[in-house]
Amino acid sequence: MTPILEVEDLGKSYGGFEAVRHLSFALARGEVLGFLGPNGAGKTSTLRMILGILKPDRGSVRLFGQAWSRALLPRIGYLPEERGLYRRMKAAEAIAYFARLRGLDRAAARRSASALLERLGLAEAAGKRIESLSKGMAQKVQLAAAIAHGPELLILDEPFTGLDPLNQQAIEGLIRERAAAGCAVLFSTHTMQHAERLCRRILILRRGEKAFDGSIEESRRLLPRRVRLEASEDLSFIAGLAGVSRLEPPGPGRPAWEALLAGSTEPGAVLAACLARGIMPYRFDAAGPSLHEVFVAIAGSDAAAEADAA
């Protein structure tokens, strides 16, 4: 199947600074791709080159199996990081206006606006001016404006910034619905929980270059697994087991022993060694690394504070 979006060897510089370097990836119909990276990694520059807002210095963008052209842009929906609706327009009017700009006739645009406001729990706000809406309500209106024309490719730049959990949940639900209908979704976020819930695949940028492109499960396999155990007995013998690269004993704020496993070592091997010694731990956790940990490890130490803040 022809990808909805193909980026090949894309590059962009600002003066002597290379914001994006040799970036290539593709996006399939119905796929939700998390576009991750710390501030300054090149995410927004890439999105703007895909949309033609910025001109690449090198490389190419293909949309819907065709070379990039402005004529293809009505098939795309875009939510920019910098929010901007006409504040004195009413919510339904604003959505319908953007839908008409992308090719819908007046009646179809109004029907789409009404349906989306109902879907997002904003039916009562249809006749209210944007300036009178809360930040969360206005952001949902802007998302509705990005999808009212039924785009085949949806590009969202930090769609969850500043939203409370209920509004985040509503937007997540709408993204899932669009993907289920066949729309390809590319969204950037600093919040790893959104990527974990919405994506099977993530792309991580670091300093303008692609540092990882694959499934979340594949990304987790890049880091060693940790096993946490609590028992009344001394578990220091675990340090000598094959496949255990490090053992951290309990300490302040850490009640459990933590064993770092090497390679393909299975957590069950640690538990089996305990049982063989007649030790029955009263706690045994073998969770894999979180996407937060993966992101920090791949994107570098400069992403640690950013991921913590998200």
CATH of the domain at 76: 3.40.50.300
Question: What is the number of domains present in the chain?
Answer: 2
pLDDT digits (tens, 9 = 90+) for 15-27: 889 999 999 999 9
CA-CA distance, 298 to 210, in Å (whole number)? Answer: 10
Give the residue-averaged pLDDT of 188-210: 92
Residue 308, domain member (yes or no):
no
Cβ 67 vs Cβ 7: under 8 Å: no
pLDDT band at 295 (very low <50, low <70, confident <90, very high): very high
pLDDT digits (tens, 9 = 90+) for 233-250: 999 999 999 999 999 999
Are both 76 and 188 inside the same structural domain? yes
Residue matched to tokens 């001394």: 234
Are both 92 and 237 inside the same structural domain? no
Are both 206 and 233 inside the same structural domain? no
DSSP states of 97-138: HHHHHTT--HHHHHHHHHHHHHHTT-GGGTTSBGGGS-HHHH
The predicted structure's pLDDT at residue 310: 42
49 Cβ contact partners less than 8 Å away, ≥ 6 residues apart: 10, 12, 20, 55, 56, 61
Are both 103 and 156 inside the same structural domain? yes
Residue 263 region, left (φ>0) first, then alpha (ψ -120 to 50), else beta?
Answer: left
